[in-house]
Structure 1
Amino acid sequence: MSRELFTGGTIARSGHAVHDTARIDAEASITEPVAIGPDVEVGPNASIGPYASIGENVSIGPGAVVENSVVDDDTRVGANATVIDCVTGQGVLIGPGSVVLGGPGDVQVGSRVFENKPLGALLADRAAATGGVTFTPGTLVGSGATLHPGTTVHGTIAAGAEVTR
């Protein structure tokens, strides 16, 4: 049975907002500043924040870590996954044991190049890392791409691509 830390109303303290329908296990750790949306579920021993924004209907699995990241609606972060310096689109799957390494990366967007910026990865809508996937800093994953277990990805992964070992 899950022990809930926040129930019965939106909680807002300095840098800390949790929607009243969020279910956060009592053994989870929340470090301000954070924003946690409606219908979010955070498992035991998960760690959220600092600097995390969690959208609606997101699931953060047991032992997962999410910091310095924006996690959009309907995203699933699996057990023991680590998500640092990451931005996800909607409906993304970051499977169990996957690692988005935070840190400086170089990213080209259009004709502009951004060097040494803190970006673990950007995962577009419906991208799926099915488990045990490692993202190097600066990785861009297109919408609907599927990354299979045990892969390490870097650079730009095209929309709809399927990446295997």
Structure 2
Amino acid sequence: MSKEVRLIKKYPNRRLYDTAISGYITVADVKQMIIDYVEIQVVDAKTGADLTRQVLLQILLEEEAGGSPIFNNMMLFQFIRMYGQASQSVFAPFMEQNMKLFHDWQKVAQETAPAGNASWLKPFSGGLQSNAGLLQWQQSLQQQTVQFWQNMGVMPKEEKS
């Protein structure tokens, strides 16, 4: 059984119309739908062109402009350098798989934590030293990622002394 996709129409005046509720919504409403795992598709009301990606990027830009951005300047530089390179075709599936793995891990961690208890987040909020296994896992993942990008030619290989 496939999940129903909620259709949102975007009008030339940049207003968003949610066809499920027959009313106008905001970008913040779209963000909340995504957080709530509602499958959406945004289309141009006049042409029917798919604008979902543009709206998702707009949400990301607004989040990044806020107080706790995920992407630092170095990461953004690397993303920009990736475009047009042969490694670009490898990057998207790599990131997609890593995001899926993290999401799956996060979901299991949340489901196994007592209700209302975010203790599963403690290792990520400064308590890494107290959890050697998690620290080792993070370092291993970091090494593998750096090695992957070095082998792809995106990052320079470190010279051994």
Q: Same fold (TM over 0.5)?
A: no
Give the TM interval when normalised to the shorter protein: under 0.3
Bigger fraction of residues in helix: 2
What is the TM-score when the length of structure 1 is the normalising length? 0.24
